[in-house]
Amino acid sequence: MKSIRFASIGFSHLAALGLVAACATTPAPRELLDARAAYSRAQAGPALQLEPASMHDAKVALDRAEQSYSDNSDSQATRDLAYIAERKAEVAEAQAGTALASQDAAQARARAEERMKTQLAQARAQAESERQARAVADQRARDALNNLSTVAADVAVKNDTRGTVITIPGSVLFGSGKSELLPGAQNSLEKVADALKDQQGNQIEVNGYADSTGTEQKNLQISQDRAEHVRDYLVAHGVSADNVKAQGFGASQPIADNGTAAGRAMNRRVEIVVHSQGEEQGQSPSEQWKHGADPDQQ
């Protein structure tokens, strides 16, 4: 009889142990597996550093799901808690991604601003260098014109509303009633050409004038021919052809009395007008004359 009771008790203990073993080996529900995977993925990324509070919430939620699973492996409560833990892990991962993108954008803006500052500084430095170079070139050009009257005794230089005016007496350049340059004229014109080579970008007018001797048509033609001969000489000696034009005005703009030989000699002249780039764009002497204005009287 005792043997039968011991056998019954042994069988009951074995059955209980079997139930415990079966519970311990019950697979975790899919929701808990997903929650574990989501947390591991978030933990492996930047979320721990960038979103520590959200990661803490996700860990607390996962621990609750794990505890529920330990208490009751196959319950709806475990599934619900695991679902919540998965969502919290995903939220932490998403927030970390947003924060990381924001950091990247901020760094990109900082780099772009730094590049802009560098480029702006380089542009300003280049502009200043160019300004200084232009200032040096302009000063050299002014000095070349202002020194003309020193290096060429027959040349007069003045500044008026038209710009810098270089006046060469006709007697130095041409024979009486002629438009071809005299051999001796080349000395003065060569010095003028050297000075005008530095006038890059400045418009230059070669204006020819005559005295009142002869007909109006003849005076106009000879003054035009003389202006063109001087222009051609300047171009042949290095002055840009694009910057120089010639115009004859005949006897229309005297600067002295045509009633005397000395006055007529002064009126037979060539004026080379250099219009500086800094001057306002206005009418040229030829345009002014066409409209009835006398440039020499402005």
Question: What percentage of the chain reaches a pLDDT higher than 70?
Answer: 81
pLDDT at res. 25: 59
The number of folded domains in the chain is 2
Same domain, 85 and 208: no
Mean pLDDT over residues 130-143, rounded? 77
Structural domain of 190: 147-297
Q: Confirm whether 9 is domain-assigned.
A: no
Q: Confirm whether 2 is domain-assigned.
A: no
Provide the CATH number for the domain around residue 231: 3.30.1330.60
Residue where one domain finishes, among candidates 91, 110, 139:
139
Convert the pLDDT of each residue in 164-196 to its tens digit: 899 988 888 887 778 888 888 888 889 888 888
Q: Confirm whether 6 is domain-assigned.
A: no
Residue where one domain finishes, among candidates 93, 108, 139:
139
Same domain, 92 and 154: no
Convert the pLDDT of each residue in 251-284 to its tens digit: 889 989 988 988 888 888 899 999 876 544 444 4
> Distance between CA 147 and CA 141 in Å, rounded?
10
Residue where one domain finishes, among candidates 139, 161, 189:
139
Q: Which of 2, 85, 106, 101 is nearest to 42 (CA)?
A: 85
Same domain, 260 and 229: yes
Same domain, 155 and 132: no
Q: Confirm whether 1 is domain-assigned.
A: no
SS3 label, residue 29 = coil
Same domain, 160 and 125: no
Same domain, 182 and 124: no
pLDDT at 69 over 80: yes
* Threshold 0.85, pTM exceeds: no
Same domain, 124 and 230: no
Same domain, 59 and 193: no
Strand ranges for 64-183 from DSSP E: 156-160, 163-169
> Distance between CA 192 and CA 40 in Å, rounded?
88
Convert the pLDDT of each residue in 219-250 to its tens digit: 999 999 999 999 999 999 999 888 899 999 99
Same domain, 164 and 65: no
